[in-house]
Structure 1
Amino acid sequence: MKNSALLLPKRFILSVFLIAIFVWSLFSVCWNSGLFHAGGFVTLLQIVKGAIEPDFTPDILANGLKAAWITLAYAVAGMSLAILYAFIVGILASGTLTSTKAAHLTSKIFFRGILGFTRSIHELIWAWLFVAAVGLSPYAAILALAIPYGGILGRIFADMLNDVPEEPILALKAAGASKLQVLVYGHLPLVRADMISYTMYRFECSIRSSAIMSFVGLGGLGYEIQLSLADLKYSQVWTYVYFLIALVLLIDGWSNIVRRGLVEEKRVNGLSIGWLSSFLTVLLIILSWVYVTAGIHFLDLFSDKNIQYGQRFFGGMFGAGNPHPAYLDKDNWASALKLTLETLKMSIMAIGFATMAAFITVLPAARNIANGQLTLKKRWYNWILFGFIRILYIFSRSVPELVWAMMIIFLFKPGLLPGAIALALHNFGILGKLWAEVIEDMDSRPIRNLSSAGASRWQSFYYGILPNVLPRFLTYILYRWEVIMRTTIVVGFVGAGGLGIQFKLSMSYFQYTNITLLLICYMVLVVIADFASESTRKAVK
């Protein structure tokens, strides 16, 4: 009881602190009519009209199907490399193959450091670096997806291997099993289902990431969206956006089937879901690699021309031949740190907007509230609200942040606010979905007792639901803030402010040492966010 009494004030204090930080971030925006373009609202109406009346002519549909396949092929090829990298480095980062404590600690620190570095840089940054070094090759897109996603998956795989129950592992060791045998027959069978489940979730995310590879000219749905926006053909923009949403929903549905099959061992015509899914996965990987590398050999990456370009680019980043590199100049550091602070404010503003929107909509989005099971109150409009908000969540999270930013920048002038809104629009759908599932999974008995005593819906939420779900809500807010921090630099590419816009300018003007300086600031910001988020989550558990 004593611990419980201490936890509630901790969570309350944390909530107040987060609100205060959000309010502080709002002062970075000058709230006046100067935020908007002169014809911004007219453009907004045109964009909305395009959403209602998309272009479904045969040529556009055929082009959309082709672009969707390119997006899927890049995602599949990139994720296949990411899984391989994550599996190997994740095992090494877990320390399960080491014999001594010193080797175990060294292995974990070294390989977790590699995973941390590769996942801290956004996939679009990797794509831009690869394109600058080796040109517009499909391998640039594939490697740009594989490296950060491999880092994310590897970190999760390592944590899963470290968190397995000790009893089966100790039993295998007592029977004389080697480290490799303990891994193969002990650790991996226990985490196999969780590994596959999380990989399928990250695969859904990779579809959105694959779409924004377009920004550096690598094709796919994002490339078509970008071209249509440049031509102000908003009806075509939304056609390609709907293709992207359909692709994300297809992968999401496949992911749910696979996860259900792992739990329930379901069968289709005598074949287990697992075997059927494995066959389809292998087939899709083969088709994707054949398509994206048709006529292009991997060894072409190491041609004399590419090696020369790579040496010039990466050598330039390290200051080769530059007597006054930007990362050794105090004025450049002052400018970069100012942009870093702006980027931090943008991320806080974004998670604040997303949190408010999710908080307002989450109650009607929970299935056990819509059917009256939790509150014992059924209303004729419950299912209408449930369906509408759930569709809104899907729509919100299916469109990548960069695509949202490309459209919002037509309404707002360049600055922090359009970037924050674009990030919030994408993360609002994710937060809402996660929070609704938390409410659906909670124990309904205390809430039903409150409802039976005559409590209103909001009283039930404030006194019954909120105290139970607040820790999970805070955890998801902090987790999404980490993700937003990685993405802030990306929305800056289209003029949304922060480090991103300066990074784009530095790339355009070949200011290589300035790129290095901005990447250092960016990675430090991501690491600080990761540390602050992890420490805070532990404090409120």
Structure 2
Amino acid sequence: MVRTVISPLRKHKRFTLTAILILVFAWSLFSVQWSPELVHAGGVVMIIEIAKGLISPSLSPDVLLLGLKASWLTLTYATAGMAIAIVYAFIAGVLASGILSDGRGAKFFSRIFFRGILGFTRSIHELVWAWLFVAAIGLSPFAAIFALAIPYGGILGRIFADMLTDLPSQPIEALKTSGASRLQLLFYGYLPLVRADFISYTMYRYECAIRSSAIMSFVGLGGLGYQIQLALADLKYNEVWTYVFFLILLVILIDGWSSLVRSAMLEKGKKRIFVSGRISALVAAVLVIVSWCYINIWEGASLASLFTKENALYGAKFFGGMLGVGEESPAFFQAESWGNALRMTLETLEMSIMAIGFATIAAFLTVIPAARNIADGSLTAKRHWYSWIVFGIVRISYIFSRAVPELVWAMLIVFILKPGLLPGAVALALHNFGIIGKLWAEVIEDMDSRPVRNLASAGASKWQSLFYGVVPAVMPKFLTYILYRWEVIMRTTIVVGFVGAGGLGQQFKLSMSFFHYSELTLLLICYMLLVIIADLVSETARKSVK
């Protein structure tokens, strides 16, 4: 028998990675000057007022009616944006996979070129795209729709391309030998194999698009975020929470629909899959048609209105300004501007590390009681009367946490903490705490329970079973999700900066307000470089965990 020798470095690489992540998080904490001055003078009073609004949200008919209208507008923008995103993702994803290309050279070029396009479009946050479109075409609903369609199309396209390239080759080769053309291979070979996974991931992204649609208000576009922003400005916290609950309800409805679709796909009965699939497809088609009709008829927006001479002049002036047209010395040619931009890039990096650190600590402290197989005692063979109560409380906190967008959390927190990196990190952590906690709980629920049961039968206590049986088994996936969410946080740091949380986002807002367009280009270059570096570091670290 040949025994595989594992090097000490490879054997302890997960421990090494964990230690590195802890040290980097500790380093990021030094970017904040910890003192009581971090909290506003009236910060404690503000916390009490915000908590009162949470307990007793406004239920007046006017507020509820306004919440319904704003919810519909948020849903409409998200649906219209995702409709375009899916078309873009399908075309670019297929081309980026290289499955339609003949020859190695053509396939390599197709993958590099179209993956580069997908990478660029998904690296810039949707709110940044919204800023750019509003500056170019004005406060049109299409500014929100295109701002959602471009990054979400890039994300979906990348995932779709990976799904196509990771498929087993045997079914495709069998079709090739029967004389199938490239298009026949695509529609009868590749697509049936990836359809379920693609639909499932698209539904998840649709839920995310609802949250993203809500924050389009920051650039002057309507929806739930706009009403939250107005209520915050008037310090009407009871109305703020009413609109937040509308947003949470909207996310829960989409999440429930997504769960029904996924569960139907996992069923063995083909009839149920067929019926459920047809109903979901019909609902989706109706939503898309009604959304576009609403935008064109009720909102009075049309694609033709975008192609006017006035918009062409505005667009040419804005994008020309970003390229430095009309400036003697554009910002991206100035050493001082580069120095300031790189300093803010470092602050953005520190904010993202703090955020993922805070979210990880909170998720780690709550994930054990949030797992269903621990609550019912099936994993550890030990059950307590309070397990289901704690399970429900933690799971509700996860839903509440992730349903509120980062920008909305940041809007609330800047009323308590003074502007800087800390409020941005806390806002990002609050949103991602719910996401990481949910993902981790599902990892525990899906794990092999036999080793843990063996420990319990040998006399180990519940906590010994968890520490020696559960944690070592799930830690690799835990680390993978931490790194994945850090990538997402890196993209989102620029958003919380818009409300005074520091970093590149705060300077981006100032540059836009003062019409320093060449400075926007410099900041976007730094932002994209940071996102690309984060992707590479995260991908390398994830491979070392496997």
Q: TM-score range by the shorter chain?
A: over 0.9
User: Structure 1: how far apart are the matches of 2:369 and 2:335?
Assistant: 53
Residue aligning to 2:172 = 169
Q: 8 Å contact 1:211–1:223 — kept in the other structure? A: yes
Residue aligning to 1:69 = 72
Unaligned runs of 5+ in 1: none
The correspondence of residues 398-437 of structure 1 with structure 2, limited to 5 A, is 398-437=403-442
**How far is the alpha carbon of 1:199 from its aligned partner?**
0.2
- AA at the equivalent of 2:97: S
Q: Residue 321 of structure 1: which of 318, 326, 347 is its match? A: 326
Residue aligning to 2:521 = 516
The correspondence of residues 429-468 of structure 1 with structure 2, limited to 5 A, is 429-468=434-473
Residue aligning to 1:136 = 139
User: Structure 2: how far apart are the matches of 1:8 and 1:366?
Assistant: 28
**How far is the alpha carbon of 1:175 from its aligned partner?**
1.2
**How far is the alpha carbon of 1:268 from its aligned partner?**
9.5
User: Structure 2: how far apart are the matches of 1:268 and 1:302?
Assistant: 47
Q: 8 Å contact 1:265–1:273 — kept in the other structure? A: no
Q: Residue 472 of structure 1: which of 450, 474, 477 is its match? A: 477
- AA at the equivalent of 2:284: T
Q: 8 Å contact 1:266–1:273 — kept in the other structure? A: no
User: Are 1:211 and 2:249 matched, yes or no?
Assistant: no
- AA at the equivalent of 2:338: W
Deviates more, 1:171-180 or 1:18-27: 171-180
User: Structure 1: how far apart are the matches of 2:274 and 2:374?
Assistant: 37
User: Structure 2: how far apart are the matches of 1:3 and 1:202?
Assistant: 39
User: Structure 1: how far apart are the matches of 2:305 and 2:274?
Assistant: 41
Could you report, residue by residue, the CA deviation over 1:290-325 in whole angstroms, capped at 9, with x for unpaired residues?
112222220111111110000000000000011100
Residue aligning to 1:19 = 22
Q: Residue 226 of structure 1: which of 220, 226, 229 is its match? A: 229
Q: Residue 485 of structure 1: which of 486, 490, 499 is its match? A: 490
User: Are 1:250 and 2:243 matched, yes or no?
Assistant: no
The alignment partner of 1:128 has SS state of helix
- AA at the equivalent of 1:510: F
**How far is the alpha carbon of 1:461 from its aligned partner?**
2.0
Q: 8 Å contact 2:380–2:453 — kept in the other structure? A: yes
Q: Residue 100 of structure 2: which of 97, 100, 120 is its match? A: 97
Residue aligning to 1:384 = 389
User: Structure 2: how far apart are the matches of 1:136 and 1:91?
Assistant: 33
Could you report, residue by residue, the CA deviation over 1:362-396 in whole angstroms, capped at 9, with x for unpaired residues?
00000000000111111111001100000000000
The correspondence of residues 234-313 of structure 1 with structure 2, limited to 5 A, is 234-264=237-267, 272-294=275-297, 295-313=300-318
Q: 8 Å contact 2:98–2:111 — kept in the other structure? A: yes
- AA at the equivalent of 2:85: A
Q: 8 Å contact 2:267–2:273 — kept in the other structure? A: no
Could you report, residue by residue, the CA deviation over 1:73-114 in whole angstroms, capped at 9, with x for unpaired residues?
000000000000000000000000001000000000000000
- AA at the equivalent of 1:57: S
- AA at the equivalent of 2:417: F
User: Are 1:153 and 2:153 matched, yes or no?
Assistant: no
- AA at the equivalent of 2:311: N
User: Structure 2: how far apart are the matches of 1:463 and 1:267?
Assistant: 41
**How far is the alpha carbon of 1:502 from its aligned partner?**
0.4
| Pair 1:267–1:241, CA change in 2 (3 A) | farther
Q: Residue 357 of structure 1: which of 362, 366, 371 is its match? A: 362
User: Structure 2: how far apart are the matches of 1:267 and 1:113?
Assistant: 39
Could you tell me the percent identity over the aligned residues?
A: 67
**How far is the alpha carbon of 1:7 from its aligned partner?**
4.4
The alignment partner of 1:293 has SS state of helix
User: Are 1:194 and 2:203 matched, yes or no?
Assistant: no
User: Structure 2: how far apart are the matches of 1:50 and 1:455?
Assistant: 46
| Pair 1:270–1:413, CA change in 2 (3 A) | closer
Residue aligning to 1:123 = 126
**How far is the alpha carbon of 1:270 from its aligned partner?**
11
Q: 8 Å contact 1:266–1:272 — kept in the other structure? A: no
User: Structure 1: how far apart are the matches of 2:5 and 2:73?
Assistant: 57
| Pair 1:4–1:390, CA change in 2 (3 A) | farther
Q: 8 Å contact 2:498–2:505 — kept in the other structure? A: yes
- AA at the equivalent of 2:432: N
The alignment partner of 1:272 has SS state of helix
- AA at the equivalent of 1:140: A
User: Are 1:507 and 2:512 matched, yes or no?
Assistant: yes
| Pair 1:463–1:6, CA change in 2 (3 A) | farther
User: Structure 2: how far apart are the matches of 1:176 and 1:286?
Assistant: 39
Q: 8 Å contact 2:171–2:189 — kept in the other structure? A: yes
Q: 8 Å contact 1:506–1:514 — kept in the other structure? A: yes
User: Are 1:88 and 2:91 matched, yes or no?
Assistant: yes
**How far is the alpha carbon of 1:524 from its aligned partner?**
0.2
Could you report, residue by residue, the CA deviation over 1:173-220 in whole angstroms, capped at 9, with x for unpaired residues?
111111111111110110001110000000000000000001011100
**How far is the alpha carbon of 1:539 from its aligned partner?**
1.4
User: Structure 2: how far apart are the matches of 1:5 and 1:226?
Assistant: 54
Residue aligning to 1:332 = 337
Q: 8 Å contact 1:94–1:161 — kept in the other structure? A: yes
User: Structure 1: how far apart are the matches of 2:424 and 2:273?
Assistant: 50
Coordinate RMSD, CA, aligned: 1.3
Q: Residue 109 of structure 1: which of 105, 108, 112 is its match? A: 112
The alignment partner of 2:12 has SS state of helix
| Pair 1:270–1:490, CA change in 2 (3 A) | closer
**How far is the alpha carbon of 1:4 from its aligned partner?**
9.1
What TM-score, normalized by structure 2, do the two folds share? 0.97
User: Structure 1: how far apart are the matches of 2:79 and 2:463?
Assistant: 45
Residue aligning to 1:38 = 41
Q: 8 Å contact 1:221–1:244 — kept in the other structure? A: yes
The alignment partner of 1:412 has SS state of coil
User: Structure 2: how far apart are the matches of 1:266 and 1:346?
Assistant: 48
Residue aligning to 1:525 = 530
**How far is the alpha carbon of 1:451 from its aligned partner?**
1.5
The alignment partner of 2:287 has SS state of helix
Deviates more, 1:458-467 or 1:350-359: 458-467
Q: 8 Å contact 2:264–2:273 — kept in the other structure? A: no
Could you report, residue by residue, the CA deviation over 1:228-257 in whole angstroms, capped at 9, with x for unpaired residues?
000000000000000000000000000011
**How far is the alpha carbon of 1:452 from its aligned partner?**
1.8
Q: 8 Å contact 2:368–2:441 — kept in the other structure? A: yes
User: Structure 1: how far apart are the matches of 2:41 and 2:373?
Assistant: 46
User: Structure 1: how far apart are the matches of 2:239 and 2:287?
Assistant: 28
| Pair 1:266–1:409, CA change in 2 (3 A) | farther
Unaligned runs of 5+ in 2: none
What TM-score, normalized by structure 1, do the two folds share? 0.98
Could you report, residue by residue, the CA deviation over 1:471-491 in whole angstroms, capped at 9, with x for unpaired residues?
100000000000000000000
Q: 8 Å contact 2:341–2:504 — kept in the other structure? A: yes
User: Structure 2: how far apart are the matches of 1:503 and 1:266?
Assistant: 53
User: Structure 1: how far apart are the matches of 2:294 and 2:463?
Assistant: 54
